A and B are shown apart, each in its own frame.
Chain A
Amino acid sequence: MIEMLNYGFMQRALLAALLVGIAAPAVGIYLVQRRQAIMGDGIGHVALSGVALGFLLQTNPVWMAVLVASLGAISMELIRWYGKARGDVALAMLFYGGMAGGVLIINLSPNGSNANLTTYLFGSITTVSPQDIAAIVGLSAFVLLVSLGLRRQLFAVCQDEEFARVTGLPVRLLNLLLAVTAAVTVTVAMRVVGLLLVSALMVIPVAAAQQATRGFAVTLGTAMGFGVAVTLSGTVTSYYADVPPGASIVVIAIALFALVTVLAAPLARRRAARDADRTVPTGPGGGTLVADGNESAGDGTGSVDRPSRV
């Protein structure tokens, strides 16, 4: 367990995994709240074109992916504003175009091949370079600054957009900022989780957390904890089992989701019962309900008492 930390690539992979585990759910929660969980997926597809463009122009694929993914995310946001009727078709085309463009460009570039495309699609622990780490640390800091620093504003916008506009918040600006932040998150995560599975890391920890939580802030914190747990354990699994880390991270995340769902079921039942108890005494009708309950309970004991009375 310790000996893997002697390898520079493994130290970098684990640091990247840690940052991705924190950042992806922190942004993903807003997409889930707005019921746009699929948006991360779309940005991932578009980012692929950016990676390929990086290879073609022989620049750093990470920065090129940040640029192209941000442009893609901004277009998705604009489509959401203006293209109400045909919005989903336009989005789908953007996704297909991003994927097809990526494969096309990578095959045209001098030192690109489908083999190194695979490391971007499903992640790879051996390819996180020292330059990548610098980019990942800087970009994660930006993502966390936005998603945690503006959490009340982003919460308001994603919860009730019209109400947020009436409170005077710059809703369009915040939406664009969220789109760009999601795009940055995708590129931060692509080295470890890969572009095809990055969306899973934005959504599954949030979905798992909300099985057990009842508030937004608690869900956010729990999701970030789950995110770190699955990215670190997935990366370690990948080291021993020699599988792409994206795959092991997502499989572990789904297992965690199933586990939390099973464990949270009795918790939810207890809470529902407590809520019912608290709602009942507020109305006069509730009082009768309680009395009815006592009455039937009395009948129950009465039947036990009956023999002694006879």
Chain B
Amino acid sequence: MTRTTAAQDGAGIAEAPPAVALRGATAALGGRPVLRGVDLTVGRGETVALLGANGSGKSTTIRAVLGQVPLTGGELELFGTPFARFRDWHRLGYVPQRSTAAAGVPATVREVVSAGRLARRRFRPLGREDKAAVRHALELVGMAERMRDPVEALSGGQHQRVLIARALVAEPELLIMDEPLAGVDVANQEVLADTLRQQVERGTSVLLVLHELGPLAPLIDHAVVLREGQVEWVDNPDRLHDLACHPHGSVPAAEAAPKIETGLFS
């Protein structure tokens, strides 16, 4: 189980510092070590997928990148700035795992997406420019006509599209998504893949946690497979495409691996 960096140093990285540089990250949740030395680099304009079994530390890794899980060791740089000094929050767009727990008070799609605009406005009032940005972000995910509807009335896939619009509305340079395809039907997965493709074409860097590559496979530059809080291997998705459907890294017991492999090659 050797540690590897996500991107080979120097290869394919422009002169700009990478969007995410996580080195030797360790973190614990409730006293239990969850990350045990994770290296992860997301270069500018790159799309990196984090794969691995439940409990392998995928979500913790991206929450650590966002500063939501304190690192007990290692370093984190965002756009070349050490995290402690990072203030350019509008450069990050975060799409959390869709929660099924609704808030206690109804909110419209527009209200939820407008909250993302606070990354640029903070305490200043929202103006015409912000309204246009909200509409544009909803058009990107094809939800503009549902702007006045309450989010509670949306299906899982539509809700996920609204959360993506909320992240896109601040016009981020790095999009961080936690299982964007979970609980999303095939038609909505295609819409999401389309939206993401447009973002990647614009030069947005993307870091996302996935259970399966699905329709996103052609977009992924690197796939990082985590296991028990460590990077198990890093690969190009061409080779990983098949493996990702049955990632043997995700099989908890080592002796189960041969069985999976026979399944793979048969």
* Closest CB in chain A relative to B60 CB, distance in Å: 13
**Contact flags B101-115 to A (C-beta < 8 A → 1, else 0):** 001111110111011
Say yes or no: B153 contacts A152, CB within 8 Å.
no
Contact check: which of B68, B108, B116, B187 meets A216 at CB < 8 Å?
B108
Say yes or no: B104 contacts A33, CB within 8 Å.
yes
Complex Cα spacing A91 to B77, Å: 39
Say yes or no: A166 contacts B89, CB within 8 Å.
yes
Complex Cα spacing A243 to B111, Å: 42
Chain A residues, CB < 8 A from B108? 214-216
Chain B residues, CB < 8 A from A216? 105-108, 111
* Closest CB in chain B relative to A307 CB, distance in Å: 44
Interfacial residues of chain B within 84-128, with CB under 8 A of chain A in the complex: 87, 89-90, 92, 94, 96, 103-108, 110-112, 114-116, 118-119, 122-123, 126
Say yes or no: A159 contacts B106, CB within 8 Å.
no
**Contact flags A85-97 to B (C-beta < 8 A → 1, else 0):** 0000000000000
Complex Cα spacing A272 to B166, Å: 25
Complex Cα spacing A36 to B187, Å: 37
Chain A residues, CB < 8 A from B55? none
Say yes or no: B115 contacts A164, CB within 8 Å.
yes
* Closest CB in chain B relative to A69 CB, distance in Å: 22
- Given A153-B123, A219-B105, are A166 and B94 also a contact pair (CB < 8 Å)? yes
Say yes or no: B119 contacts A165, CB within 8 Å.
no
Asked if A167 is at the interface of the complex by the 8 Å CB criterion, the answer is yes
Complex Cα spacing A153 to B119, Å: 10
* Closest CB in chain B relative to A22 CB, distance in Å: 18
Say yes or no: A166 contacts B68, CB within 8 Å.
yes
Say yes or no: B187 contacts A283, CB within 8 Å.
yes
* Closest CB in chain B relative to A280 CB, distance in Å: 12
Say yes or no: B115 contacts A155, CB within 8 Å.
yes
Contact check: which of A33, A34, A37, A156 meets B115 at CB < 8 Å?
A156
Q: Give the size category of B's interface with A.
A: 35 or more
Asked if B13 is at the interface of the complex by the 8 Å CB criterion, the answer is no
Complex Cα spacing A150 to B187, Å: 38
Say yes or no: A217 contacts B89, CB within 8 Å.
no
- Given A32-B105, A35-B104, A215-B108, are A168 and B94 also a contact pair (CB < 8 Å)? no
Residue of A whose beta carbon sits closest to that of B123: A153
**Contact flags A111-149 to B (C-beta < 8 A → 1, else 0):** 000000000000000000000000000000000000000
Residue of B whose beta carbon sits closest to that of A31: B104
Contact check: which of A159, A164, A278 meets B107 at CB < 8 Å?
A159
Interface secondary structure of A, over-half rule: helix
- Given A34-B104, A152-B126, A219-B106, are A166 and B118 also a contact pair (CB < 8 Å)? no
- Give the interface centre of A32, A163, A217, A272 by most chain B CB atoms within 10 Å: A163
Interfacial residues of chain B within 126-174, with CB under 8 A of chain A in the complex: 126, 145-146, 148-150, 153, 155, 166, 170
Chain A residues, CB < 8 A from B155? 279
Contact check: which of A169, A210, A217 meets B111 at CB < 8 Å?
A217
- Given A162-B96, A214-B150, A275-B149, are A33 and B103 also a contact pair (CB < 8 Å)? yes
Complex Cα spacing A165 to B149, Å: 26
Complex Cα spacing A35 to B87, Å: 30
Chain A residues, CB < 8 A from B122? 153, 168-169
Asked if B53 is at the interface of the complex by the 8 Å CB criterion, the answer is no
Q: List 30 A-B contacts (CB under 8 A).
A: A35-B104, A37-B104, A152-B118, A153-B118, A155-B107, A155-B111, A155-B115, A156-B118, A162-B68, A163-B96, A163-B115, A164-B115, A165-B67, A166-B66, A166-B68, A167-B170, A168-B87, A168-B89, A168-B90, A168-B118, A168-B119, A169-B118, A214-B106, A215-B107, A215-B108, A215-B148, A215-B150, A216-B111, A272-B153, A283-B187
A residues whose Cβ falls under 8 Å from a Cβ of B: 29, 32-35, 37, 150, 152-153, 155-156, 158-160, 162-169, 206, 210, 213-217, 219, 272, 275, 278-279, 283
6 closest Cβ contacts across the A-B interface? A168-B89, A167-B119, A156-B115, A215-B108, A214-B150, A33-B105
B residues whose Cβ falls under 8 Å from a Cβ of A: 66-68, 87, 89-90, 92, 94, 96, 103-108, 110-112, 114-116, 118-119, 122-123, 126, 145-146, 148-150, 153, 155, 166, 170, 187
